[in-house]
Amino acid sequence: MLELIQGLSDSILNNLKLYQVNQNDIIIAAKGDLDLSGYCSTSYVLGTKEALITIIGDGDKVTYLENKDIEKLSCEQLVSTGLLIATVEGVDYILCQFTNSCLREFSLLCRLFEKIKQGQVLEEKDYKMHELPLTCPKCGSFYEDPVRKICPKCFDKRKIFFRVLSYVPKYKFHITIMLILMLISSALNVFIPYLTGNIFYDEVLKQGGSLFGKIAFIVISIALVKLLATIISILYGRINSTFSSKVIYDLKTEIFNALQKLSLSFFNSKQTGTLMNNVNGDAMNLQYFFHDGVPYFIVNIIQFIGIFTVMMIINWKLTLLALIPIPLVTYALRKLFPVLGVLYSRMFRQNSSLNSIISDSINGSRVVKAFGREEAEIKRFSVVNRKNYEVNVNVNRINQTVFPLIYFFMGTSSLIIWSVGSWLVVNDQLTFGSLISFTGYIGMLLGPLEFMTRITDWWSNCMNSASRIFEILDTVPEVEEHKDAIKLPNIKGDITFKNVNFEYEPNKPILKDINFEIKAGEMIGVVGHTGAGKSTLANLICRLYDVKEGQILIDGVDIREISLQSLHTQIGFVLQETYLFMGSIAENIAYAKPNATREEIIEAAKIANAHDFIMKLPEGYDTIIGVRGQSLSGGEKQRIAIARAVLLNPRILILDEATASLDTETEKQIQEALERLVKGRTTISIAHRLSTLRNADRLFVLENGQIKESGTHEELMKLKGNYFNLVKKQNEALRLRGV
């Protein structure tokens, strides 16, 4: 913003002169990129202590408003554009229009304008957009997505390649042996055609040859050489398998460790979500890279040089002639692969949409059956299946047509050798054995050609996989432990929010300027409409996310300075969505405290009123529950989650709709038990059912991310505000149902 003010052009400044405004008077500014009807243009909104001036285009439209007349300046976000709106005498006026790219700047403008109106003096720090670092620390260029702190510039494929290789040095021994084996095997491969061609025909079968008639000897030699080649390839394959699997094992371990450290926001973000889906596939890709790709490449290069040399020595003219078709074939292949690549990726996408339909309808099988939609599902499937089939046919047809043709053209090399070679043999310029060796060699030369022409695609494919993996490994967790984080082994339980602002996605504020103090031991109830930000508030206390502005203090210490360990072992959180892991019920209850004794587990289960239903299960606490605890009812799962939090014996207990799926009777029992437990610790309980909160010391009413009312039940009832209305509505609803 400050740079913008410094860099204003002369024509803009001239416009300002008409209103007696100097460049030095300007303290806030923003630049828009559209005119009022949506065309690309530039617009400036400039503010001084007294007034706000909007200049659209080159002064096509200039609006001058005095600050004292503007009741409110706000940004309104439309679908992909924003409007800057000034409210004057209760009426909204559009000052300018801009695309999403400028939204941050304009929201800052509005915030600063508010400060100016309140008579505050702006400081340097006010101009900073409260955001994560936006640039790459290495090269200083902008991240294109601040959530993914990955700099596109520093993502150099070659660097990635070396980084992939950096996983290798640990296995020096393996690699040395593999390289030696590769060399021997290449040498043997080059030698075999020579043995079966030149030596066999020219020395053994021909009269006067040095080995004439020694058939047994040559056959045994050939057999031995082939046996040796086989043994070497077996050895090589075994070593390679251990080696490449080990490298990938290391890498996968590292990926999973990195995943555990990442912040929630990484998993939530859409872009990084797709990154996750493919982690395993990407790792597989790298495994191929080590296991097949690199070795194949090296062997072929060595072999190519070997064969070429031998051929040149035998007859260099014939060699060069035979190589003529190679550039042509290479060219054709290079043209062909991009097209095939597109077809393949289309096939791949069709395939995955087929897969997702299958898993969609299997996961939703209850709904499908409940609404009797089996036929419709079959139809939905068959539409995609049909498309899939068509794409498959198409790809295979092209494959089956193009490749035979290409192989035919490759075959012209052999034709050249046969024709020119035979002519040379007849004229005694080439031995018969050399001709046989040649035909063998040319096949070996052309075989890897297909792979070699694809090597760049294949390479960049592997590097992309690698880059995605490194992207995960390199992501700096947003919620990070402070360098000298304080250990608070005995939290008292005071919680203070100071001007807390929070948003999940840029420019979509969820919590706005939240201020409150909770004393240790208090029980606070939080109510509010769905989507008001209640769970978000709870997430912030646990530091699952960091606040964007303001501070959260526990016992007077900023939670960003408290070690995550002391935070998470002393805050018990019963989440709105219960998640149970694969494992026994006991393990699930003891999830946050694995060293809990059996007594402690049972005690916690009793408090959560889960003991009795667990005892009804034939395997009791050892009952294995599947992914998400599918075999349990909603209320049963919830009670296990409560037990989990209770077992932790936390100083601060957060219950987010913890008893929502329970009947009133069970809820009452749990409440009584919790009440005993809750004594002396800070409790924050979020609930829709207001009766749940009747024991709360104070209630907060959250609306649209702001605390609208707070106080005891009686105080709020007297206020006759939002809370009063909520209570009234719920009572009416209960009466209607006759409860």
Partner 1 sequence: MSEITYLKPKNAKFFRNNNGFLGLKFNDVEYSRVNLIKAFPFSYENKFISVRDKEQNEIGIIEDISLFPEEVQKLFTEEIERRYYLPKITKIYSIKDEFGYSNWEVETNYGRRKFTIRRDPNNFVNIKANMILIIDVDGNRYEIPDYTKLDKKSFKKIELLL
Ligand X SMILES: Nc1ncnc2c1ncn2[C@@H]1O[C@H](COP(=O)(O)OP(=O)(O)OP(=O)(O)O)[C@@H](O)[C@H]1O
Query: Which of 237, 531, 626, 634 forms a contact with ligand X (CB under 6 A)?
Result: 531
Please say which residue, 82 or 525, places its beta carbon nearer to partner 1.
82
From 94-102, 514-522, 532-540, 602-610, span contacting ligand X (CB under 6 A)? 532-540
What does DSSP say about strands 624-625 and 652-656: parallel, antiparallel, or unpaired?
unpaired
Site string for ligand X, 657-696 (x = CB under 6 A): ----------------------------------------
Our CB check for partner 1 shows the closer of 61 and 679 to be 61
Q: How far is the CB of 511 from Mg ion (least distance, A)?
A: 13
| Least Å from the CB of residue 505 to Mg ion | 17
Looking at this protein, which amino acid is placed at residue 278? Answer: N
Identify the sign of the CA torsion 365, 371, 373, 374. Answer: positive
Number of residues that bind Mg ion (CB under 5 A): 2
Helix ranges restricted to H, 500-623: 534-541, 564-570, 585-589, 598-607, 611-616
Q: Whole-number minimum distance, CB 499 to partner 1, in Å? A: 26
**Dihedral angle at the C-alpha atoms of 122, 125, 131, 132, nearest 10 degrees?**
170
Minimal CA–CA distance to 522: which of 498, 500, 543, 494? 494
Nearer to ligand X, 463 or 686 (CB): 686
Query: If contact means CB under 5 to 8 A according to the sort of partner, which of Mg ion, partner 1, ligand X, none does residue 268 touch?
Result: ligand X
Question: Are the C-beta atoms of 653 and 570 separated by less than 8 Å?
Answer: no
Question: One symbol per residue from 505 to 544: x for binding Mg ion (CB under 5 A), - otherwise; what is it?
Answer: ------------------------------x---------
CB of 687 to Mg ion, least distance (A): 10
> In the bound complex, what is the minimum distance in angstroms from residue 147's beta carbon to ligand X?
11
The conformation of residue 24, written as its DSSP 8-state character, comes to G
Per-residue tokens: 163: 């980084």
Comparison of 80 and 530: residue with beta carbon closer to partner 1: 80
Minimum Å distance from CB 142 to partner 1?
10
C-alpha dihedral sign at 668, 670, 676, 680: negative
Which residues in the 537-576 window bind Mg ion by CB under 5 A?
Answer: 576
Q: Which residue is nearest to Mg ion (CB)?
A: 535
Q: Which residues bind partner 1 (CB under 8 A)?
A: 34, 36, 38-41, 78-81, 91-94, 97, 99-101, 103, 144-145, 152-153, 155, 270-271, 274, 338, 342, 349, 464, 467
The half-sphere exposure of 311 on its side-chain side, counting CA atoms within 13 A, is: 28
Provide, rounded to whole angstroms, the least separation between the CB of residue 693 and ligand X. 14
CA distance 725 to 390: 60
Residue with token string 């939670």: 559
Contact of 108 with 129, CB cutoff 8 Å: yes
Least spacing, CB of residue 573 vs Mg ion, in Å: 12
Q: Is the dihedral of CA 66, 68, 71, 76 positive or negative?
A: positive
In order of 197, 426, 608, the CA distances from 431 in angstroms are 10, 9, 93
Among partner 1, Mg ion, ligand X, none, the one that 496 touches (CB under a kind-dependent 5 to 8 A) is: none
Question: Which residues inside 533-552 make contact with ligand X, applying CB under 6 A?
Answer: 533-536
Q: Does 507 sit near ligand X (CB under 6 A)? A: no
**Choice between 88 and 224, CB closer to partner 1:** 88
| Burial grade of 171 (CB within 10 A; 0-12, 13-18, 19 or more) | middle
Q: x-or-dash pattern for ligand X, window 558-587, by CB under 6 A?
A: ------------------x-----------
- Other C-beta atoms closer than 10 Å to the C-beta of 487 total 8
**Shortest CB 689 distance to Mg ion, Å:** 14
CA angle at 483 for the pair 478 and 485, rounded to the nearest 5°: 95
* 27 close to 122: Cβ distance less than 8 angstroms: yes
Cβ at position 155, least distance to Mg ion in Å: 38
CA distances to 328, 341, 406, 408, 716 from 446, in Å: 12, 22, 11, 12, 85
Pick between residue 41 and residue 710 the one whose CB is nearest to partner 1: 41
342 makes contact, choosing from partner 1, Mg ion, ligand X, none, with CB < 5 to 8 Å by partner type, with: partner 1
First to last CA, the chain: 60
Which part of the chain contacts ligand X (CB under 6 A), choosing from 34-42, 316-324, 529-537, 560-568? 529-537
Nearer to Mg ion (CB atom), residue 475 or residue 535 = 535
Q: Toward ligand X, which CB reaches closer, 353 or 576? A: 576
Task: Output the DSSP codes for 603-629.
Answer: HHHHHTT-HHHHHHSTTGGG-EE-GGG
- Taking the complex as a whole, the smallest distance from the CB of residue 637 to ligand X amounts, in Å, to 17
The interface partner of residue 240, options being partner 1, ligand X, Mg ion, none and the CB cut-off 5 to 8 Å by kind, is none
- Applying CB under 6 A, which part among 103-111, 231-239, 524-532, 623-631 lies near ligand X? 524-532
Which does residue 536 bind out of partner 1, Mg ion, ligand X, none, counting CB within 5 to 8 angstroms by kind?
ligand X
Binding partner selected for residue 530 from ligand X, partner 1, Mg ion, none, CB under the kind-specific 5 to 8 Å limit: ligand X
As a whole number of angstroms, the distance between CA 433 and CA 196 comes to 8
Which residue in 137, 77, 78, 85 sits closest to 110, CA to CA? Answer: 85
* Closer residue to Mg ion in complex, CB, 453/535: 535
- Using the minimum distance from each CB to ligand X, give the nearer residue, 146 or 443: 146
Residue pair 473/250 in contact (Cβ under 8 Å)? The answer is no
Counting contacts by CB under 6 A, is residue 710 touching ligand X?
Answer: no
Q: Which is nearer to partner 1, 111 or 346 (CB)?
A: 346
Q: Quick check: 95 and 88 in contact, CB under 8 A?
A: no
- Nearest Cα neighbor of 444 from 197, 639, 703 is 197
CB of 538 to Mg ion, least distance (A): 8
As beta bridge partners, residue 516 has: 497
The nearest distance, CB 581 to ligand X, in angstroms, is: 21
Whose Cβ is closer to ligand X: residue 7's or residue 531's?
Answer: 531
Q: Could you tell me the smallest distance in angstroms from the CB atom of residue 685 to Mg ion?
A: 12
Give the 3-state secondary structure of 676-693: HHHCCCEEEEECCCHHHH
String marking each residue 572-601 x if it binds Mg ion according to CB under 5 A: ----x-------------------------
Stretch that binds ligand X, among 277-285, 431-439, 502-510, 629-637 (CB under 6 A): 502-510
Report d(CA 275, CA 59) in Å as an integer: 46
In the chain, the largest separation of any two C-alpha atoms, in whole Å, equals 122
Query: What radius of gyration, in Å, describes the C-alpha atoms of the chain?
Result: 37
Nearer to partner 1, 80 or 595 (CB): 80
Query: Residue 442, Cα to own-chain centre: how many angstroms?
Result: 47
Q: Rounded to whole angstroms, how far apart are CA atoms 369 and 74?
A: 50
Q: Which is nearer to partner 1, 457 or 603 (CB)?
A: 457
The closest of 437, 438, 457, 554 to 497, measured between CA atoms, is 554
Distance between CA atoms of residues 463 and 282, nearest Å = 10
Q: How far is the CB of 575 from ligand X (least distance, A)?
A: 10
Using the rule CB under 6 A, is 532 a contact of ligand X?
A: yes
Tell me the one-letter amino acid at 325. P
244-273 binders of ligand X (CB under 6 A): 268
User: Judged by CB under 6 A, how many residues of this single chain contact ligand X?
Assistant: 13
Residues 436-495 within binding reach of Mg ion (CB under 5 A): none
- Amino acid of residue 44: Y
Q: Is 278 exposed, middle or buried (0-12, 13-18, 19+ CB in 10 A)?
A: middle
Interacting residues of 418 by C-beta distance below 8 A, sequence separation 6+: 439
What is the contact surface with Mg ion in residues (CB under 5 A)?
535, 576
What is the contact surface with ligand X in residues (CB under 6 A)?
268, 504-505, 510, 528, 530-536, 576
